[in-house]
């Protein structure tokens, strides 16, 4: 009797708005996460931020993050969205080339598109991408936990108003290869300049399945 094991690549996107009151806390939180990259406790702090986002739409429950024994961060998300979409073929191809040493570069740049479109694994770009891509390693965090890649990037309240329909993860600040595309299915995530800040990100899982 034969046994088969396969790997499924699954990903989820998230988008969350923060009040101006909470924005400095989020900025300080992500700054500390960046400084702790690769050190014990880093993934646990990332867990707390992602758990907060998973509380989803408009529940306004406070979340508390603990750092070095001090209860210091309490924030309320104004609005939050989580959904599933897809990883691209060209992005996975580059990951394999990085493994074989024939390509280099990090998928750390988060961008957004301002029009809805059905995503496909062949999509090379976002639909009507606007704004400046954010480097998750400086404006948020990039973390590997188990078989998951977790990317989080924050945008300042001064970013121009935008109706966000898509999120993408790239290997360059402009152009480049897109690893994952997330479309909100026509449900717009709105940002208004100088009214709130926001964060975008994703969790990409390599999930084993099969009759093993």
pLDDT tens digits for 140-193?
Answer: 888 888 888 889 999 999 999 999 999 999 999 999 999 999 888 778 999 999
* End-to-end Cα separation, the chain, in angstroms: 11
Q: What is the SS3 string spanning 117-164?
A: CCCCCCCCCCCCEEEEEEEHHHHEEEEEECCEEEEEEEECCCCCCEEE
Find tokens 């509380």 and name the residue.
55
Residues 196, 17: Cα–Cα separation, whole Å: 6
pLDDT digits (tens, 9 = 90+) for 4-41: 556 566 778 889 999 898 898 888 888 877 777 666 66
pLDDT value for 2:
46
Q: Say what the pTM is.
A: 0.85
pLDDT value for 72:
57
Residues 208, 212: Cα–Cα separation, whole Å: 9
pLDDT value for 47:
80
Structure confidence at residue 89 as a pLDDT band (50, 70, 90):
very high
Residues 182, 166: Cα–Cα separation, whole Å: 5
Give the mean pLDDT of 118-127.
91
Q: What percentage of residues in the chain have a pLDDT greater than 70?
A: 81
Question: What proportions of the chain, in percent to the nearest 5, are helix, strand and coil?
Answer: 20, 45, 35
**Comparing C-alpha atoms, which of 7, 11, 183 is closest to residue 107?**
11
Give the mean pLDDT of 93-117.
93
């Amino acid at each position: 009797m034969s046994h088969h094991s396969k790997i499924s690549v699954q990903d989820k996107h998230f988008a969350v708005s923060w009040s101006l009151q909470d924005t400095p806390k989020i900025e300080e939180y992500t700054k500390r996460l960046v400084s702790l990259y690769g050190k014990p406790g880093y993934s646990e702090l990332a867990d707390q931020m992602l758990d907060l986002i998973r509380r989803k739409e408009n529940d306004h429950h406070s979340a508390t993050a603990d750092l070095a024994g001090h209860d210091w961060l309490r924030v309320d998300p104004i609005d939050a969205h989580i959904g599933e979409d897809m990883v691209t073929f060209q992005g996975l191809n580059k990951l394999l080339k990085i493994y074989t040493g024939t390509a280099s570069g990090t998928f750390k740049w988060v961008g957004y598109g301002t029009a809805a479109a059905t995503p496909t694994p062949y999509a090379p770009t976002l639909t009507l991408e606007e704004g400046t891509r954010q480097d998750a390693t400086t404006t948020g965090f990039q973390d590997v936990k188990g078989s998951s890649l977790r990317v989080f990037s924050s945008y300042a309240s001064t970013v121009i108003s935008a109706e966000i329909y898509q999120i993408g993860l790239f290997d360059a600040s402009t152009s480049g290869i897109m690893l994952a595309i997330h479309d909100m299915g026509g449900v717009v995530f709105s940002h208004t300049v100088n009214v709130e800040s926001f964060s975008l990100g994703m969790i990409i899982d390599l999930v084993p399945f099969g009759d093993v």
